[in-house]
Chains A and B, each alone.
Chain A
Amino acid sequence: MTPDLWLLLIPLTPLLLVSALALPVVGRHLWRLTPLAVLPALAGALWLPEGAWAFYPWLLLGTELALDPVGRGFLLLTALLWGAAAVYAQGYLGADPSRVRFHAFFLLAMAGNLGLVVAADVVFFYTSFALMSLASMGLVVHEQHFESWRAGWVYLGMALVGEVALFTGLILLVHDAGGHGLVRVWEQPPGMAAVILLLGGLGVKAGLVPLHLWLPLAHPAAPTPASAVLSGAMIKAGLLGWMRLLPPGSVPEALGTVLVVLGLVGAGYGVLAGVFQHRVKTVLAYSSISQMGLMTAGLGVAMMHPALAPALISALVLYALHHGIAKAALFLGVGIAQRVGRTAALAWLLLPGLALAGMPLTSGAVAKTLLKAPMYDAPVDLSLVTLLLSTAAAGTFLLMLRFWVLAAGGSREPRPVPVSLWLPCLALVLGTVVLPWVLAPEDAFKALAVEPALALLWPMGLGLLIGGIALLLARFRGWTLPRWIPEGDLWVPLERGGQGVLGWVSRTPGFWHMPGGGFTLALVHGVPRLWAAWLDRVARGERMLLRWETLGLLFIGLVLSMLVAVYLGAVMVMS
């Protein structure tokens, strides 16, 4: 198969399957084939030749698809997670009355996610990004509870704002570059406005603090297989977009500083807010915010010191793979944990949780070591950043402890776990151990040395210490975790505040006595009244206008006066 066809098939296969769902008789059974839709992508990630590139002059505004090393890593991640989630969905949603609809949106979002990984021009990237964002709305609101609708609206609103910011940023880029191919866009350093718009537009997807508000609401609201891809694969689209559109070296170094600060804040805040959660999936969502913060900080360092960029970028790709697989394994594991006994549940969730915290021998250890290694070689002292990264790892371990406690507790109803549930989960759990040895065996070996292992272990020890004390307090003193931070943290005060301010303003007569209050009052009450009066007058005017006699006379009069005016004008011109 030529790379031309192959690259196109990567996003096209899920779309073809979606259209096949509409077939008359067989269509409603074809959702069973969903896992197969990732096969071209998976095969492409493994076997497409290095530097594969294709140009489709007929598609959109002229589309380029390509696979570079960064793209290969993300493609592998995307294909693995969507494939695993698709298999899982067979069992999880097999009896759902709306399963065909779920799979239709699932496939659309999958096509978008795969497409944006192989996109090599900004229009196709934007198209895929939009497809993914909008189609995942169908996954978030799938269950149609009040909670999922609320999460869905917050998600959709923020996604759309991100979308238009991205659109504006992209046309600024394209206008400066004079072309929409990525290679062409890279030739021109992006302007300040474009940088800000792209930072925000993609930041919504990447859960960049403070644009993360939708994430802890939406990720838990979706059905479990959808949560896994939302939190494991789709969240990475923001990171990939930054790498593609704001390549280190051509962006101002100040942007790097901003990303490092926001990333580290996010890493810390994700832990802080996550620990106070009381639902398993929400803890995982906050953990995603925290982990994305670490990756964002890594990318920020690359932007600050472009010389470190190659090493950091490849480390970030591995980190993204590691986090995606571990997080998806956790989400899928949560679905299994509810069906098995306490010990079995912990067994399912232990390994990916440890990997996330950076346990030696797991993918987390390799990814964290690789990410920190270039920072020790930096021309300036980055020990503060590396220290904070390590501290964040302690936080991650704490978060995982909280997660395990929640996942093991609570009521459970033992049910059989079908093979379609445990097989993909097992594959991902094993992936957290096997993957580094397959992808980067040398680095995996290096991460076993004493020094990096110590650097990984002390944060875990710290996390264990704090978590252990908390557990002991809970057990022997009966302390429970206060509900200080609600799900969706800042969104909740915003939502209440919005309603509160409106209510307060309307309820407080005193408000109107303050200076300028009269004017505001007049404005608030007067303008609608004026508007209504004006509409009334227009309507009355129209009624009069509508009488045939008026209409006819007006028409004739107007024509006559026009002619007279024209005649006079012409006479004046001639004289």
Chain B
Amino acid sequence: MATGGYMLLLILLSSLLPGVAIFFLREQQFALRTALNLGGATLKFLLIIALLVGVYRDGKTYSLSVNLLPGIDLVLAADALSLLFATLSAVLWLVTTIYAIGYLEDSPNRSRFFGFFSLCVSATVGIAFSGNLITLLIFYEILTLATWPLVVHRGTAESFRAGRIYLAYTLLGGAVLLGAVVWLTLLAGSEPFTAGGYLHHLSADQGPVLIMIFAMLMAGFGVKAALLPLHSWLPRAMVAPAPVSALLHAVAVVKAGAFGIVRVLNDVYGVELAADLGVTLPLLLLAIMTIVYGSVRAVFADDLKQRLAFSTVSQVSYIILGVALAGPIGAVGGLVHLVHQGVMKITLFFCAGNFAETLGIHRVDEMRGVGRRMPWTMTAFTLAALGMIGIPPLAGFISKWYLGLGALEAGLAWVTVVLVVSSLLNALYFLPPILRGWFSRREGPWPDERHGGGRLETHWMLLLPTMAVAAMALGMGLLASLTISPLYWVTFIVEFEYGYDHIWRAIFEWETP
């Protein structure tokens, strides 16, 4: 076993231990709780950077294996894909923590909130670093349970209802997933994730069984990724406080599902085997239906957060669309959207939270003239929303560009039509709030104005994280060719996972004069 596995454990503990400690704090211990929160988040961020340096500069591998049952290991490992997801979680956790401290200022039950918040992130990072399906499953279930108290945090009847719907969907999804994982383990043993999959030897005589297990895995992960018939918990879970929705939609829950699907497709089955079994096309069709359905529902949603939630349903399926194209360039588009969607959506939810907290705006038609009162938040909203539509030079454009090229590469030119339709639908539900915000005039007072009179348009802890993530959404598109950009990283992953040596050249060196 390679050395350095303790690093992974430390990264897990850096959010787990503060989380547990926070549970025991009294409500008034604001300073200590904030210190624990920010300390843990910063520590995790630094550790991840150290890990990145170790992997990329020094070529180290990190893994940690504990024997759980005979033949079944609990494996933590850091490969390129897990680092991508872990970095996304760590960075967004840091900004969301700052945001949440500002957002929940003077509200009750903050210790409970931040405790579960930290647990939730620990589980997400655990999912990122899971080295095999069993480990992934365990963290996946922990995530399900740790998120529930956050969804029902407000304690209203509505939020309990949303919480129960959430549990009903995710627990049943988790049960299906459990069945699939056990079945697969019985068939193939508890193998670690392997680029290109580890089921080749079974495909000859176990084809139908593998297809069945694939369907169960997709159903299990699809619940969290909000794939079409299993999506309806997500728009209701938006009753949660804004930072929770933000994290839920950007990295934690929804992304965990998408990440699981990517893992299964790339590291359990392998793209080639999946294509041979004929399961990628149904997955592709499902993703497409989800994309269109989510966008259509978003057009008719009047509540801002609900509109964003349906948009998530649609956008997360871009990731699945990308990997289901079963080609390297499509995978670049899909995986890079894992990061891009996270950053853009967290920006949008932060903005929605800012509007709600500062002015009491909850519905889209209340946004008239908000650009004059809150220009910075509105700028962030505009950037992220245009990115979602896929307007260059924002992050979403990069995803859409490679998804389009990937579809052509896979010989599925008709998929570009889906991208076009989805872009137009996105424009249909994102442009009206933008235009209202900038160009309409507000008559009368705001529904519920707070944080007024200061030099900033709202509390700095709400504004600063919003601006930071908006800048990231812009930077990831504008500077997509830098070596630290998600695109560069994803290209690295895909080249490694798919074993194509031309992909790097195709993306980064074709312009070298």
A residues near B (Cβ < 8 Å) are 22, 55, 57-62, 64, 101, 121, 123, 126-127, 130-131, 134, 137-138, 141-142, 144, 152, 156, 160-161, 163-164, 167-168, 171-172, 174-175, 178-181, 184, 193, 538, 542, 545-546, 551, 554-555, 558-559, 562-563, 565-566, 569-570, 573
B50 at the interface (CB under 8 A from A): no
Q: B179, A566: Cβ atoms under 8 Å?
A: yes
Query: Is B203 an interface position by the 8 A CB rule?
Result: no
* Chain A residues whose CB sits within 8 angstroms of the CB of B439 once the complex forms: 138, 141-142, 144
Option from B179, B391, B478 in Cβ contact (under 8 Å) with A59? B478
Q: Given A171-B405, A569-B209, do A558 and B482 touch, yes or no (CB 8 Å)? A: no
Give the residues in chain B near A573, CB-CB below 8 Å: 186-187, 206
Nearest-Cβ distance from residue A487 to partner chain B, whole angstroms = 21
Alpha-carbon gap, A270 to B436, bound state (A): 33
Chain B positions 432 through 444: 1 when the CB is less than 8 Å from some CB of chain A, otherwise 0: 0001001111000
In the complex, what distance in Å separates the CA atom of A565 from the CA atom of B409? 40
Q: How far is B466's CA from A465's CA once the two chains are assembled, in angstroms?
A: 65
B510 at the A interface (CB under 8 A) = yes
- B424 interface hit (Cβ, 8 Å): yes
Let me know if A60 and B478 touch, CB within 8 A: yes
Question: Is B481's beta carbon under 8 Å from chain A?
Answer: yes
A175 in contact with B409 (CB, 8 Å): yes
B511's partner among A22, A172, A180, A566 (CB-CB below 8 A) is: A180
Asked whether, in the complex, the Cβ of A171 is within 8 Å of the Cβ of B416, the reply is yes
The secondary-structure label for the interface of chain B is helix
Across chains A and B, which 8 residue pairs bring their CB atoms closest together, nearest first? A562-B179, A127-B392, A62-B511, A179-B510, A171-B404, A175-B408, A558-B175, A566-B183
Q: How far is the CA of A55 from the CA of B375 in the complex (A)?
A: 34
Q: Is B480's CB within 8 Å of the partner chain A?
A: yes
Is A134 a contact partner of B404 (Cβ separation < 8 A)?
Answer: no
The listed residue (A130, A138, A161, A172) touching B392 by CB distance below 8 A is A130
Q: Are B508 and A62 in contact (CB under 8 A)?
A: yes
- Asked if residues A144 and B420 are in contact (CB atoms below 8 Å), the reply is no
A-B pairs under 8 A by CB, number: 140
A-B contact pairs, 23 of them (CB 8 A): A58-B481, A60-B392, A126-B392, A144-B440, A160-B423, A163-B391, A167-B423, A168-B416, A171-B404, A171-B405, A172-B408, A179-B510, A179-B511, A180-B511, A184-B510, A542-B165, A546-B161, A555-B171, A559-B179, A569-B183, A569-B186, A569-B209, A573-B186
Task: Kindly list chain B residues whose C-beta atoms are within 8 Å of the C-beta of A163.
Answer: 391
Q: Which residues of B contact A555 (CB under 8 A)?
A: 171-172, 175
What is the minimal beta-carbon distance from A269 to any residue of chain B, in angstroms? 28
Residue of B nearest to A565 (CB): B179
Question: How close is A35's CB to chain B, nearest CB, in angstroms?
Answer: 24
Q: Which residues of B contact A (CB under 8 A)?
A: 161, 164-165, 167-168, 171-172, 175-176, 178-179, 182-183, 186-187, 206, 209, 232, 371, 375-376, 386, 390-393, 397-398, 400-401, 404-405, 408-409, 413, 416, 420, 423-424, 427, 431, 435, 438-441, 477-482, 506-508, 510-513
Bound-state CA distance A171–B186 (Å) is 45
CA–CA, A520 and B186, complex, Å: 53
Q: Are A57 and B164 in contact (CB under 8 A)?
A: no
Q: What is the distance, in angstroms, from B422's C-beta to the closest C-beta of chain A?
A: 10
Distance (whole angstroms) from the CB of B159 to the closest CB of chain A: 13
Cα A434 to Cα B413 in complex, Å, equals: 51
- Looking at the assembled complex, report how far the CB atom of B202 sits from the nearest CB atom of chain A, in whole angstroms: 10
Add 10 more A-B contacts to A127-B393, A542-B165, A558-B176 (CB < 8 A).
A57-B511, A60-B478, A61-B481, A130-B391, A164-B423, A174-B405, A180-B511, A545-B168, A546-B165, A555-B172
Decide: A59 near B405, CB < 8 A? Known: A179-B510, A555-B175: no
Q: A562–B416 contact, CB under 8 A?
A: no
B420 touches A542 (CB 8 A): no
Cβ–Cβ contact A180 & B510, under 8 A: yes
Contact A161 B386 (CB under 8 A): no
Q: How far is the CB of B299 from chain A (nearest CB, A)?
A: 14
Tell me which residues across on chain A come within 8 A of B404, comparing CB atoms. Answer: 167-168, 171
- Is the pair B420, A59 in contact by a Cβ cutoff of 8 Å? no
Residues of A within 8 A of B510 (CB): 62, 178-181, 184
CB neighbours (8 Å) of B438 from chain A are 101, 138
In the complex, are the beta carbons of A141 and B182 less than 8 A apart?
A: no
Contact of B401 among A160, A171, A542, A566 (CB under 8 A): A171
Cα(A88)–Cα(B508), bound, Å: 44
B477:A562 contact, CB within 8 angstroms: no
CB <8 Å contact, A570 and B186: yes
CB distance from B231 to the nearest CB of A (A): 12
State A152–B179 Cα separation when bound (angstroms).
55
- B393 in contact with A60 (CB, 8 Å): yes
CA–CA, A137 and B375, complex, Å: 18
| Closest A residue to B386 using CB positions | A134
**Chain A, Cβ-Cβ closest to B163:** A546
Tell me which residues across on chain B come within 8 A of A160, comparing CB atoms: 423-424, 427
Return the contact of A562 from the options B178, B187, B391, B507 (Cβ within 8 A): B178
Structural contact, A164 and B424, CB atoms closer than 8 A: yes
Q: Which residues of B contact A144 (CB under 8 A)?
A: 439-441
> B182 is contacted by which of A64, A152, A161, A566 (Cβ under 8 Å)?
A566
Query: Once the chains bind, are B186 and A566 in contact (CB under 8 Å)?
Result: yes
Q: Of all chain B residues, which has the CB nearest A546?
A: B164
Which residues on A sit within 8 Å (CB–CB) of B435?
A: 137, 141, 152
Once the chains bind, are B477 and A60 in contact (CB under 8 Å)?
A: yes
CA distance A551 to B169 in the complex (A): 10
Q: Complex formed: what's the CA distance from A137 to B435 in Å?
A: 9
List, in ascending order, chain A residues with CB within 8 A of B507's CB: 61
Partner of B171, one of A138, A168, A551, A569: A551
CB distance from A297 to the nearest CB of B (A): 30
Q: What is the CA–CA distance of A101 and B372 in the complex, to the nearest angstrom? A: 9
CA distance A453 to B307 in the complex (A): 63
Q: How far is the CB of A59 from chain B (nearest CB, A)?
A: 7
Q: Is the CB of A167 within 8 A of B420?
A: yes
User: Is A57 touching B186 in the complex (CB atoms < 8 A)?
Assistant: no
Q: How far is the CA of A138 from the CA of B513 in the complex (A)?
A: 38
Tell me the bound Cα distance from A101 to B498 in angstroms.
48
The CA of A168 and the CA of B417, in the complex, are separated in Å by 8
Contact, CB under 8 Å: A60 / B481: yes
B405 contact from A175, A546, A563, Cβ within 8 A = A175
Are B386 and A62 closer than 8 Å at their CB atoms? Answer: no
Residues of A within 8 A of B423 (CB): 160, 164, 167
How far, in Å, is A502 (CB) from chain B's closest CB?
18
Contacts of B506 in A (CB 8 A): 178
A563 touching B182 by the CB < 8 A rule?
yes
- Is the pair A55, B183 in contact by a Cβ cutoff of 8 Å? no
